[in-house]
Structure 1
């Protein structure tokens, strides 16, 4: 998820704070996730199914609470890896931070638009004049929605945005405060279970889209990094071959959610190819994701793919599966 440029810039500066160098890691690593999110299911599958251990690495998961904090943990060497949108890493790298991405986690623009059953939706122009419930900026769902409006000849002035804290979007939507909502999972399937219509999916609209990735310092221990990427690759392959195990892990990781909603959300994201087929990040998937941030003014230019994406780890992980 993306935040305003000033906050992004603070991440880029964090590496200048003079953190002490990390000691050589003996096949142990910490991964700092931005949030506990259903999007990061490949990580949870790797942890819960023991796939990191099989790859020869002991991984500890920490939850930072924000992408900026997660990436700062990597820059300062208090974590070896972080999981969040690659735009954070691209901005930090553009400011001189020695970071890049080493594996794919989410390969689709995991945002959807839902409406009430009585709302007649034929195309985006039907949203003109409507009240839209969406996440509080800065967040990717609202950013993508504003981009969608622009692409269809509309602007934010043509709609009324009701911005709420992330994860609370279903509340005002189901309460009748709007006929349209922009949602992540599991909020989407929470409202779908109540009879709301899913009218537009950004995964289908954009195709491969580097939505979330594993980031690391460029001086990360290559043995540790390879083992971590191998574990992630094994998890993604397991999700593809045994989706029931992916659902079971998601239910374990989100025990406070309705199990039916969790299952529906996982199956939707697998069906819409939100979860990747492998840890690979293609140039096109990275470009379209970062082009969105360039258009929004959060990033000045595309990074050099060859130096930004550590495909040496990716290629070896894919070859080993």
Structure 2
């Protein structure tokens, strides 16, 4: 039986009303987070992505790798990214030059740098490296900066008392294992790459300094507050998960770094969890912030430290830490 034109028209109107009454599915808000490097230090960020914590907060996060801290920060300053991940000193330097930026979340809370030596090297104190060639990352980088400051703090001159062989960051294990030096200053996973080859870990800066604001999430002060809160919430959930589930955290790290030996990745993650390099919350404490800024002032990278109360924005952190356990 065919419908009359009038009846067909009525059914069309009813159908359109039914369709329009169905609520549309909300789309996750698109957000870009620019990281300085693809780094094992930023594992909390990758955990938040892999575990869906950003999606749980209504965000569709795009991860971009800038290639350097300054490039990552520049992405925020130019509005091509809402957030960036790198050392807070770069944010402080930008703020000192008038940029309207601050840090909103912790990412790395320990000075994640270590000194390793060959098995035959006799090491009891830092003065034992005097006269040695030392492999370290190409400046400017925190690992080499911290090493130089350690020498200065112990009455040594980095320019004359040691011969620092600066190489591209991440390539330090090569010349060290190749016999070009008996001492190396390393990040992870380079540290556990050389440890797996029998090299000795003789000094850890996480233990030397304690809490240290090493990497943070940066945003403009005018960032959308709801979006910023969602980012900080997701990071808080990632930290909680990492410390409660180390085995699954290791599995995520192995997925993110498939070209690395799985045992090296496992050792590196375990070391950084044990030494509190990965924080237990998004809070950047005053002590951790001051230690990091004093290092940068001593190295001449900063003249004065920003005001902790305003530069380390507390509102998002407080709300994130109050989330149900």
Alignment check: 8 A CA contact 1:27 1:223 kept: no
Bigger CA radius of gyration: 2
Structure 1 moving runs of 4+ over 3 Å = none
Equivalent residue number for residue 276 of structure 1: 279
How does the TM-score come out when normalised to structure 2? 0.90
User: 1:209-251 CA distances to partner (integer Å, 9 max, x unpaired)?
Assistant: 0000000000000000000100000001000100111101100
Give the Cα separation in 1 of the matches to 2:120 and 2:186: 19
Give the Cα separation in 2 of the matches to 1:168 and 1:93: 31
In the TM superposition, residue 78 of structure 1 has moved relative to its aligned partner by 1.1
Equivalent residue number for residue 51 of structure 2: 49
Equivalent residue number for residue 190 of structure 1: 193
Q: Does 1:32 align with 2:30?
A: no
Equivalent residue number for residue 263 of structure 1: 266
Unaligned runs of 5+ in 1: 1-24
In the TM superposition, residue 26 of structure 1 has moved relative to its aligned partner by 7.0
* From 127, 130, 133, the counterpart of 1:128: 130
Give the Cα separation in 2 of the matches to 1:197 and 1:270: 20
- Secondary structure of the 1:234 match is helix
1:232-243 map, 5 Å = 232-243=235-246
Equivalent residue number for residue 180 of structure 2: 177
Alignment check: 8 A CA contact 2:105 2:282 kept: yes
Equivalent residue number for residue 289 of structure 1: 292
Equivalent residue number for residue 64 of structure 1: 66
Give the Cα separation in 1 of the matches to 2:141 and 2:95: 21
Equivalent residue number for residue 23 of structure 2: none
Equivalent residue number for residue 217 of structure 2: 214
Give the Cα separation in 1 of the matches to 2:172 and 2:67: 19
Aligned residue-pair number? 297
- Secondary structure of the 2:91 match is helix
Equivalent residue number for residue 319 of structure 1: 322
User: 1:82-117 CA distances to partner (integer Å, 9 max, x unpaired)?
Assistant: 000000101111111110000000000000000011
- Secondary structure of the 1:158 match is coil
Equivalent residue number for residue 142 of structure 1: 144
Q: Does 1:159 align with 2:190?
A: no
How does the TM-score come out when normalised to structure 1? 0.91
